[in-house]
Structure 1
C-alpha cells in the first residue's frame, strides 16, 4: 500500500461524550474533509449537520500530511431523547464534493440488519461496561470482542422481551492502559515505522539520547542498531546515592524508565500517534507485513515470531473493536502504561524522569498523544483555544522549543479528570498527575491524589444519592498484595512491586476514607477500577455512629492481559488464610471499622476470590444505583458472575 492508497478513515468513528445536549465523536482521517452528520430516531424528522473542518463544531488537529484528527462537537436541536435508539449517519466529502457514507468506507461498521451506526441514552444507568489493560501481543484474547458480542446479541434480540438480558449499556469505561507505550512487540514497532512515512509525519529532532539524533532527527533513531529489542540502551540513566540497605539491590546507576519491558519503549511523537491508530482500527493493518528487522539474534528472532502470531490474532478482531466504539460512548482515563510503567510513582521517580530532557520529551510525547486520542473527547471544554493552537504548532514542527514548552505545561495540566452527567453521575478521577508526594522520603510512594484534588472530589460528590467513581487503581485492594508492596517500600524498593495503592500513603488513605465517612457523601458508591491484571469484587460497609454508605469495589482487569497464573493462585490462597474473618491481622491496617464482603467468581476453583482471565466487566444497576449483577464477560465467550458471600465478610 502506498500513501495514495491509504483509506480515508484511518481510525474511528469513536463515540465519546454523548449527553442529551451534546454529542462528541472522534475520527482520524487521511485528509481534512467536510462532514455531514444526520441524527434520526423513531418517527421524528432527521436532524442534519454539515460541518467544515477547523470550525467549533468540527475541531481539527493535523499531525502530518496524511493524518488529521477530528473531534465533532455538536449541540443537537432540542434534547436527544432518553431510552430511544438514535441512528446516526456520518458522511464524508470525497474529492469531487460528493457525500460518501462512512459505512461504505468501512463495510464492517454496522451490526447485522442495520444500515448505519446508532446509540441509546438510557435515562438511568442500568448497565455499564468497563475494563483496562489491553496489551496487543498478549495471547489471551481481547475482552473488547466480548463487549462487541454483547451488543450484537442485544440488537439481535431487541424485539424480544427477556428479563435476564441486560439493558443497553450507558457507556464503555476504559480505566487505563489503553495502549502500552512502554511494552511494544517488535512486529508492532516495525509496523509503526512503516506507517510513519506513509502518513507523512514530520521528523522530530532530539537531544540527550544515546544516539546522535540532534541533527538527523528521529529517522536516525529508527535506523539505529539498538532500535529493536535493545532500546533500553538508548534510554537515559541517572546516578543515585543509595542508603546501605538499598545498595543490596544493585548499583547506584538506575534507569529512568523502570519498566522491565523497555526493549521497544516508544519514544517519538510519531510512534505514539501511530500506535493509537493500530490498536483501534484495522485500516493500517492492510499494509503488507513488514519483514523482520536485520541484526536480531536467535532469541530475539524467536520472540519476534511469537509476537507476530499473537498480533495476527489481535488484528483479526479490530474491525469488531471499531464497530463497538462506534456504538457506545467511550469514557477513558490514563494509567501508567499509557505513558510509562510507574509513571509518577514517587517524588524520586519524578525528579529523575523530568530532570532529564530526553526522558521528559518521551513522557510528554505520550501525554500529548493521550490528549489527542483520549483526553480530548472526554471533556472538550477543558482544552481551550490557546492550548489547541499550541498543540497544532507542535504537530506541524515537533522537536523545537515550542514542543518542549507545551509538554512542560501538559505535565502540569490539572484538568484530566472529568464527570459525565449520567444518572448516577460518572465521575472519573485522575490518579496519576495529582499525586500527593511524600515529604519524609523521596523514594516513598506518592499518594494517588493530593489533598486539593481529594477536596475537589469531595465537593463534587457532596449531596449525590449515588455515584459511579472511576479510579484506575482499586481503592480497596487485595490486602496481602498491599502488605507485600509495603514491605518492599520499607526496604526502599517500591518500584520492584509497583507499590501503588490507595493505602500506601497515609495522607491520601485518610482523606479518601474520610470522604466515604462524610455526612453528605453519596449513599451508594460503585467504584470501577483496573490496573492489576486480575478481577475481583468487594462489598464494603462503613460503620460508626451512623451507618456509612454502601461501597462496591469492582475491578475488571485486563481486557487483554493477565497476572501470572500460579503466582496469583498462591497470593489468593495466602490472602484468605492470613486475612480470614477472625484474623487479628485485619486490625493492622488503615481501613479499620469496615465490613468487607468478598464476592466469589462463580465456577472457579473452591475458595477463589480473584479471577484471572481476559475479559470485560459488566455491571447492572437498580434504580437506586446499587449493583444487582456484577459479572465478567470473558474473551473465550464465558460469563462469570460474582456472588456475595455474607459468611466470609470481615472487619478490617
Structure 2
C-alpha cells in the first residue's frame, strides 16, 4: 500500500496500553497502513523469561480503516503463559515487513522509558495506587498533567511504587472547544491521510470537504451549527446580549463536525507523530482573530512539545477511560428538551454521532473490548466497505449512529481488588418530571438499580463518576437557583443532587444494609480538586465514603472566582448553618479534607495535574494527593465537619 508522505514511522499513534490481566493484554494503535505485528513480553529483571514471543494471531487483531492512509488496530492478546503480578514486565511490538520485524525502539523510541529498550508495566494484585484525572484541554495555558504521570512512572524504583492504573474520567478531548491552530492541524492530517469524508444533511454545507473552504471555517462554526424550532426555547442570553444555542458551548467557534475531524483530533492529542504532517499557516485574516490564533499557537506549541512524554505515559501504564460532555459536546443530554432539539435535527444528530463513534474507536473500545463487540459489525460495514471516492455511505453511517445512540453498555467494571466500577452518567439520564428544560438525573432508575446490583455484597469498591457525587454545596445551590429561573444551561446545572429522584435513589444505595463498607468515588469535570470524608448520619454501621475529585489534567477554574466561591461556601454552609437543611445531603455527615499549602480552612485546589490515591488492603485511602503538572502538589488532610 502507498504510504502518506511526511512521517518516517508507519505508526501514527500508540501503542496505548489499555486493559491488562494475567490472561489478557489489550493495546490500541493507529497507523498509515494495515500492520502485521509480533509481540514480546518478558520480565524486566529476567529478560530470559518470555511470556510471549510470537506473531499476533488473526483472532487477536482487529483492524478498521478510517482513511486512505489510516488504520486503527486493537490487539487483544492472550499470553502463552499467565502474566505474573507485582513485578516489572516489558513488552515490545514488532512491525513485520518482508518477514523482518522492526521493534518499538526503532519506530517510536520516545515510548521507551529511561535507558530501557522497550515500554513496560506492572500488573498489580490490588488497586494500591491509582492515578486519575479529567479535562485535558490542549490550548489551555496550564501544563499537561500526563507529563506528571510520565514523571511518576519514571521515578518508580520498585514494582510497589508503580500505579496500578490510570483513570481518565472524562473530557479526554474537547470536541466542542478547539483552538484555531489545532483545527488547522486537524485539516492537515485529514488531507495527508485521506481520512474519510461524508455527506452532510440539514446544514448550510452539503459535504464535509467544504469545512475547510467556507467563510466560517475558523472561529465562526457556531453560525454553521443547526437551528431548529426548539432553538428559541433552548437559547440563553449572556451578558451583552449574545445568544447561545443549546447545542454549543460558549467557545463553539471551532466545534468539530465530521468523523474525519474527530479521528484527526484523537491522533493529535495522543501522539507527537501526526504533527509532522502539519504545515505552518495562519488561515485567518481578521486582526482580532489573528491575534487570538497566535496566542493559541503558543499554547498548542507547548502542548505539542510535551506529547512524546504524554505518549510514553499512555504506553507504560494500563489506561481506562470514560466519556463526559466535552468528548461529545457541552451540555450533552443535560435535559430532555436538549435531547429533543439535538437528536431530531439531522445535522446535530450527525455531529453528536460522529463524536460518539470517535469515542468508541479511540477510547471505549480498549476498556473492555467484549462489551462493545456487537458495535464492530456495523463499524466494519461503514469503514471497510469498498469505495471509489473515499466517502462514507450516508445510510450506513446514519444506521450506525442510531445503534450508538441506543447502546446501553458504555459503563464497565473490573474484577480488581477492590472492585472498580465505571459509570456512564451521560446516556442513562433520568429526565425531569417537572419540566423538559430542567436538568435530567445523571442516571435513571434502571441504571442506578444495575449499579446497586453490581456492588452488592462487595466489602469495598472504587467508583468512577465523571461528575462528583458530592460537590461544593454553594455551586450546586447556584445551579439550582438558575434552574428555577429557567436557565440551567447557563451554569451547566448538572450534578447528582439536581434531580430529586436520582439523588434519592443514590443516597438510598449508600444506606442499604448490603452496600459495600468502603466507597472510594473518583470524579473530575469541575476544573478544581477536592476530597471529602463522608458518613451517614444516625447510622452507626453505615459505609465509609470518600469523594475524591481531580480536575483538570490540562485545565483550571478562574482562580479569583474560585477563591470567592470557596470562601462563601465555608461561610454559608458552616456546620451550624440552617442552609444545610435545604440540601438533599442533609442525611450525610461531610468532612472536607484540607489541602496543604492553602490558607486555613480552604478546601479547593486549583492547579492542573493528576490525582493520586493510595489504598490500604481494606480499600481505605491511606493518602490522597493532587500532583501538579508543573511540579509539586498537595496532600488532602482531614479537616472540620460540615
TM-score if structure 2 supplies the norm length? 0.95
Match of 1:351 in 2: 340
Give the distance between the partners of 1:242 and 1:250, measured in 2 at CA. Answer: 18
Which residue matches 1:282? 272
**What's the CA shift for 1:261?**
0.6
- Write the distance in 2 (CA, Å) between the matches of 1:234 and 1:195: 22
The residue aligned with 1:389 is 377
2: CA distance, partners of 1:589 / 1:30: 54
Deviates more, 1:399-408 or 1:241-250: 241-250
Match of 1:76 in 2: 79
Cα pair 1:239 1:252 within 8 Å, conserved: no
Give the Cα–Cα distance (whole angstroms) in 1 for the partners of residues 272 and 53 of structure 2.
28
Residue 395 of structure 2 aligns with which residue? 401
Deviations 1:162-206 (A, max 9, x none): xxxx72111000000000000000000001001102111122111
For 1:162, the equivalent position in structure 2 comes to: none
- 1:50 CA drift (Å): 4.0
Residue number among 24, 29, 32 corresponding to 2:31 in the alignment: 29
Instruction: Give the structure 2 partner of residue 525 of structure 1.
Output: 519
Q: Secondary structure at the match of 1:238?
A: coil
**Secondary structure class of the residue paired with 1:446:** coil
| Alignment pair present for 1:132 and 2:134 | yes
The answer on 1:368 being equivalent to 2:376 is: no
Determine if contact 1:354/1:360 at 8 Å carries over to the other structure: yes
The answer for the alignment partner of 1:48 in structure 2 is 52
Cα deviation 1:78-97 (Å, max 9, x = unaligned): 43211111111111112x33
* Structure 1 match to 2:311: 322
Q: Would you say the 8 A contact 2:51–2:81 is kept in 1?
A: no
Contact 1:170–1:328 (Cα < 8 Å) also in 2:
yes
The answer as to 2:578 corresponding to 1:584 is: yes
Partner of 2:221 in structure 1? Answer: 231
1:341 corresponding residue in structure 2: 330
Distance 2:15 2:230 in 1: 47
2:443 is the counterpart of 1:449: yes
Please give the secondary structure, in 1, of the residue aligned with 2:147: helix
Distance 1:241 1:79, change over 3 A: closer
2:589 is matched with which residue: 572, 591, 595?
Answer: 595
Say if 1:490 and 1:242 are closer, same or farther in 2 by CA, change over 3 A: farther
Q: 1:163 — aligned with what?
A: none
Aligned residue runs from structure 1 range 481-500, under 5 A: 481-500=475-494
Q: 1:307 to 1:247 in 2, by over 3 A?
A: closer
* CA 1:246–1:50: 2 relative to 1, 3 Å: closer
Structure 1: tracts of 5 or more residues without a match: 160-165
Most deviating of 562-571 and 85-94: 85-94
**Offset, 1:458:** 0.3
Distance 1:252 1:561 in 2: 25
SS of 1:611's equivalent in the other structure is: coil
In the TM superposition, residue 453 of structure 1 has moved relative to its aligned partner by 0.6
Q: 1:603 to 1:245 in 2, by over 3 A?
A: closer
Partner of 2:188: 194
Aligned to 2:228, what secondary structure does the other structure show?
strand
Cα-to-partner distance string for 1:575-594 (whole Å, 9 max, x where unaligned): 00001111111111111222
Note the residue ranges of structure 2 that are not aligned, 5 or more in a row.
385-390
* CA positional deviation for 1:113: 2.5
- Aligned equivalent of 1:611, options 592, 605, 620: 605
Q: How does 1:204-283 map to 2 (within 5 A)?
A: 204-211=198-205, 213=206, 217-240=207-230, 255-283=245-273
The 3 A distance-change label for structure 1 pair 5 and 93 is farther
Structure 1 contact 536–611 (Cα < 8 Å) conserved: yes
Separation of aligned partners in 2, 1:359 and 1:172: 32
1:108: which partner in 2? 110
Q: How far apart are 1:242 and its partner, in Å?
A: 7.0
Tell me whether 635-644 or 271-280 shows the greater mean CA deviation: 635-644
| CA distance in structure 2 between the aligned counterparts of 1:241 and 1:32, rounded to whole angstroms | 44
Q: CA RMSD in A?
A: 2.1
Structure 1 Cα separation of the partners of residues 208 and 232 of structure 2: 35
Conserved in 2, the CA contact under 8 Å of 1:347 and 1:443? yes
Q: Distance in 2 between matches of 1:174 and 1:589?
A: 30
How far did 1:243 drift? 8.4
Corresponding residue SS for 2:635: strand
Offset of 1:253 from its aligned partner? 8.5
Change in 2 beyond 3 A, CA 1:508/1:49: farther
Q: 2:93 aligns with which of 81, 90, 93?
A: 90
Q: Secondary structure at the match of 2:363?
A: helix
Q: How many residues align?
A: 631
2:627 is the counterpart of 1:633: yes
